[in-house]
């Protein structure tokens, strides 16, 4: 059995209307793909080294535990006053609800001020006694 004449690769490309790909274009595609793959792997590696966005945001919102003034009575009094003076008037609620909230917040503010006064009273007495000893 004899095989007839076969078309050469160039003749087949011409018959199909396909342009040959130059080696330089193929090499460029490979280099581009490799660069893209390398960039993706570097981005993933950098992302794995830093904490997630949610963790970074919660860290920014959380108070620094090394600062004891954050949890002091004076700070809570300051925050309550801010809520009463600035936030409460801005609420879009009926007047009865606003009055009830104001009443509750004022009561809490009075309790905190009284508590803060009781805690600081012994310190004031001690510092007053220390001042008297220094003057005599």
In the chain, what are the domain boundaries? 9-49, 65-135
Taking alpha carbons only, the member of 68, 74, 84 closest to residue 115 is 74
Which residue intervals of the chain are DSSP H helices?
Answer: 9-16, 23-49, 53-61, 73-82, 95-135
Q: pLDDT tens, position by position, for the chain (136 residues)?
A: 445 677 666 777 777 776 766 667 777 788 888 889 999 988 888 877 777 778 878 877 776 666 666 667 888 889 999 999 999 999 899 999 999 999 999 999 999 989 888 887 776 666 665 555 555 5
Assessment of whether the complete model's pTM goes beyond 0.75 = no
Please tell me the distance from the alpha carbon of residue 84 to that of residue 33, in angstroms, as a whole number.
Answer: 61
Q: What is the pLDDT of residue 1?
A: 43
pLDDT for the residue numbered 22:
67
Neighbours of 93 (CB within 10 A): 11
Helix (H, G, I), strand (E, B) or coil at 93: coil
The predicted structure's pLDDT at residue 129: 56
Consecutive H or E run containing 26: helix 23-49
């Amino acid at each position: 059995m004899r095989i007839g004449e076969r078309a050469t690769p160039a003749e087949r490309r011409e018959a199909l209307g396909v342009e040959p790909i130059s080696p330089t274009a193929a090499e460029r595609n490979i280099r581009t793909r490799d660069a893209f793959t390398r960039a993706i792997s570097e981005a993933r590696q950098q992302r794995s080294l830093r904490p997630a966005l949610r963790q970074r945001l919660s860290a920014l919102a959380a108070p620094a535990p090394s600062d004891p003034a954050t949890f002091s009575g004076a700070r809570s009094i300051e925050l309550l006053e801010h809520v009463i003076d600035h936030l409460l008037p801005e609420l879009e609620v009926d007047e009865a609800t606003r009055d009830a909230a104001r009443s509750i917040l004022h009561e809490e503010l009075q309790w905190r001020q009284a508590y803060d006064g009781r805690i600081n009273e012994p310190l004031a007495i001690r510092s007053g006694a220390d001042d008297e000893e220094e003057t005599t």
